[in-house]
Amino acid sequence: MTEGHARMTAMVTLEAVAKTYAARGTATAVSALDGIDLRVEPGEIFGIIGRSGAGKSTLVRCINLLERPSTGRVTVDGTDMTALDDAGLIKARRRIGMVFQHFNLLSSRTVFDNVALPLELAGVGRAERRRKVEPLLELVGLADKAGRYPSELSGGQKQRVGIARALSNEPRLLLCDEITSALDPETTQQILTLIADLKRRLGLTVVAITHEMGVIREICDRVAVMEAGRVIEQGPVYDVFTAPEHPTTRSFVSSEVDLAIPSGLKRRFDEGAATGGDRNAVVRIVFKGAAAFEPAIARLATERGVAVNILHGRIEYIQGKPFGLMLVEVPGGEAAGASVVDFINGLGLDARITAHVPVA
């Protein structure tokens, strides 16, 4: 119990949660979740990423018991959800908002009445409903659309209605099930910004499932990676992005932060690998954390007198922190590469020889 957050009461805990869908007809039983342990802290945005079929939807639906786990325990805001009867569940679910990929709006109801629906179901009177729904529509930027019907709205606007509806009972926890998967990139960005903003303003805890690493990188504090019903890796987003351990995580992350090496450069690497003549080392340098600010290339020049040739590079910002990758050619023949690697690693960066190119 040395970490600060470990002393807080978690907003969500899953302990040894498993879910098997029973065999039906010719279909065999499916193990969708296979022993999940998770802890979501109050006030964080926790992302869950995985490929199709990994079990993400099942997992998120086990949090509000829309799906009952076969075994294991789910606790939300101090309440053991798995121990509740139906009446207890209905009440507990009011404190958990949920937003869906395909919005799930009622087409025969106006925007206002869609947002008011959970309040109606909870027995809240008309005047009180108005008092609650109007500021919510304001909050999601739809104050002027209260009387419109879903068919008159864009996808992004529909999702704003879905978000306002999820907030109507003033939940402490918001579950987001692929909420930007049906939206174009620009609208996705707006919706993610809205979620991050709502989290800050309302002090919400958010659990978001997605198959897009971009969503995780944009708004999440921590991430769990799922595969075949298990969590294969989890941690702070910056750590998982900059040092993914599991091959599946690496493949998710590479599309976001790896270097796409141009074909002309790749050809030179191939020539460097094949040549029997003189060649120079290509060093791959990773800049991350505090060391990202180290002027490594300049120090190499001033302290060692080595002027490297920058071949390719990329700097990303993840949760506001820089993460850079750079490929440099070290002049002076193959042997010069190793001492440059030592020098740069000595500055706290991560360098290694990744390829060779023929000396021009």
Ligand X SMILES: Nc1ncnc2c1ncn2[C@@H]1O[C@H](COP(=O)(O)OP(=O)(O)OP(=O)(O)O)[C@@H](O)[C@H]1O
Q: Which residues bind ligand X (CB under 6 A)?
A: 21, 30, 32, 50, 52-58, 211
Report in angstroms how near the CB of residue 52 gets to ligand X at its nearest.
3
Q: Would you call 74 helix, strand, or coil by DSSP?
A: strand
Please, which residue, 30 or 292, has the CB nearer to ligand X? 30
Neighbours of 208 (CB within 10 A): 26
Note whether 106 and 165 are within 8 A (CB).
no
Please, which residue, 55 or 162, has the CB nearer to ligand X? 55
Report in angstroms how near the CB of residue 317 gets to ligand X at its nearest.
28
Report in angstroms how near the CB of residue 176 gets to ligand X at its nearest.
13
Report in angstroms how near the CB of residue 41 gets to ligand X at its nearest.
23
Q: Give the relative orientation of helices 336-346 and 296-304 as an angle to the nearest 10 degrees.
A: 120
For 239, the token pair is 């750590």
Residue 327's beta-bridge partner residues?
A: 284, 312
- For residues 177 and 113, give the distance between their C-alpha atoms in angstroms, rounded to a whole number: 22
Please, which residue, 53 or 235, has the CB nearer to ligand X? 53
Please, which residue, 56 or 165, has the CB nearer to ligand X? 56
Note whether 293 and 243 are within 8 A (CB).
no
For 233, the token pair is 């890796």
- For residues 111 and 161, give the distance between their C-alpha atoms in angstroms, rounded to a whole number: 7
- For residues 114 and 108, give the distance between their C-alpha atoms in angstroms, rounded to a whole number: 9
Please, which residue, 228 or 336, has the CB nearer to ligand X? 228
Beta strands, E only, the chain: 12-21, 30-40, 45-50, 71-76, 79-80, 96-99, 173-177, 205-210, 222-227, 230-236, 279-288, 309-318, 321-329, 350-358
Report in angstroms how near the CB of residue 28 gets to ligand X at its nearest.
10
Report in angstroms how near the CB of residue 204 gets to ligand X at its nearest.
22
Spatial strand order in the sheet of 30-40: 30-40, 12-21, 71-76, 79-80
Report in angstroms how near the CB of residue 205 gets to ligand X at its nearest.
20
Please, which residue, 52 or 151, has the CB nearer to ligand X? 52
Please, which residue, 72 or 289, has the CB nearer to ligand X? 72
Query: Long-range contact list for 153-158, CB < 8 A, 24+ apart?
Result: 153/111, 154/187, 155/103, 155/182, 155/183, 155/184, 155/187, 156/183, 156/187, 156/190, 156/191, 158/103, 158/105
Please, which residue, 32 or 166, has the CB nearer to ligand X? 32
Alpha-helix residue ranges (DSSP H) falling in 184-236: 185-202, 213-219
Report in angstroms how near the CB of residue 91 gets to ligand X at its nearest.
25
Residue in the block written with tokens 């978001």? 208
Please, which residue, 75 or 210, has the CB nearer to ligand X? 210
Report in angstroms how near the CB of residue 101 gets to ligand X at its nearest.
9
